[in-house]
């Protein structure tokens, strides 16, 4: 399942965008920069997004949520991944996604407002305040 999706993704998306398929052995991945807590947080957000979606299909809007699409494909979870949707393009989207659950990272709610989506979750990261900070 994942191999089929990945092969199709490489041929239909990666290759046309880059003009070639990168050699994975020659890439500088910076994987060591990912901490276990980062990966657990990503998985927790995805799990909560699925819970909040309930029976609704999840719309993943924008390029910044592509990791959730990877998790969805690994699980075989149905989503609609639209990397072309952003605050600049959402008012031009013709499809009706009002019955979907939108999972996005937008802070101003401009995408769900413009698309009239009432069921959504917005991922926001706030780093902890520096030590000694008082509000």
Q: Is pLDDT larger for residue 83 or for residue 2?
A: 83
Structural domain range at position 98: 35-122
Angle, alpha carbons 111-112-117 (nearest 5°) = 150
| Digit-coded pLDDT (tens) for 12-61 | 877 787 787 766 555 555 555 667 777 788 889 999 999 999 999 999 99
Asked whether residue 127 is domain-assigned, the answer is no
Asked whether residue 43 is domain-assigned, the answer is yes
Asked whether residue 6 is domain-assigned, the answer is no
Asked whether residue 101 is domain-assigned, the answer is yes
Asked whether residue 52 is domain-assigned, the answer is yes
| Digit-coded pLDDT (tens) for 78-96 | 899 998 888 888 888 899 9
The span from the first CA to the last CA of the chain, in angstroms, equals 50
- Overall number of domains in the chain: 1
Give strand pairing partners of 59: 80, 102
Asked whether residue 113 is domain-assigned, the answer is yes
Strand pairing report for 101-104 and 120-122:
parallel
pLDDT band at 125 (very low <50, low <70, confident <90, very high): low
Give the residue among 87, 103, 111 at the shortest CA–CA distance from 54: 103
pLDDT of residue 28: 54
User: Dmax over Cα atoms in the chain, in whole Å?
Assistant: 52
**CA separation for the pair 53, 119 (Å, rounded):** 8
Residue 80's CB: how many other CB atoms inside 10 A? 16
Asked whether residue 97 is domain-assigned, the answer is yes
């Amino acid at each position: 399942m994942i191999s089929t999706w990945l092969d199709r993704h490489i041929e239909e998306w990666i290759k046309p965008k880059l003009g070639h398929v990168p050699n994975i052995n020659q890439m500088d991945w910076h994987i060591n920069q990912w901490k276990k807590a980062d990966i657990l947080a990503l998985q927790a957000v995805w799990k909560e997004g699925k819970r909040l979606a309930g029976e609704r299909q999840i719309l993943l809007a924008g390029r910044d949520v592509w990791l959730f699409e990877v998790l969805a494909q690994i699980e075989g979870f149905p989503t609609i991944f639209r990397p072309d949707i952003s605050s600049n393009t959402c008012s031009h989207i013709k499809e009706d996604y009002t019955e979907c659950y939108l999972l996005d990272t937008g802070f101003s709610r401009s995408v769900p407002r413009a698309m009239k989506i009432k069921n959504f979750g917005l991922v926001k990261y706030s780093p902890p305040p520096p030590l000694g900070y008082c509000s």
